């Protein structure tokens, strides 16, 4: 038997580290298309001529 537990309200003021990590994730996703080709070329010796962005398929729970 499962007991329903009320969900806590999501409040970034109570969890400043969550808000900070979300900002980091956003900046990382925005800058990565520009940074990744340089990393691949310098580290792996690969020269990227053309690339396409793949849309995310994120799994979510209900």
Residue 32 lies in a domain: yes
36 found inside a domain: yes
- Per-residue pLDDT reduced to its tens digit, 3-60: 665 555 455 556 777 788 888 888 888 888 888 889 999 999 998 888 887 887 777 7
Could you tell me the CA-to-CA distances from 50 to 9, 33, 37, 38, 53 in Å, in that order?
44, 11, 10, 13, 10
Q: Residues, the chain, total?
A: 62
How many structural domains does the chain have? 1
pLDDT value for 18: 79
Residue 43 is assigned to a structural domain of this protein: yes
Which pLDDT value is given to residue 41? 92
The DSSP secondary structure of 3-46, one letter per residue, reads: PP-PPPP--TTT-HHHHHHHHHHHHHHHHHHHHHHHHHHHHH--
What 8-state DSSP symbol labels residue 53? P
């Amino acid at each position: 038997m499962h007991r329903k537990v009320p969900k806590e309200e999501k409040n970034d003021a109570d969890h400043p580290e969550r808000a900070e990590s979300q900002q980091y994730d956003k900046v990382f996703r925005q800058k990565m298309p520009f940074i990744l080709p340089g990393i691949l070329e310098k580290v792996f010796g690969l020269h990227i001529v053309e690339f396409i962005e793949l849309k995310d398929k994120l799994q979510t729970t209900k």
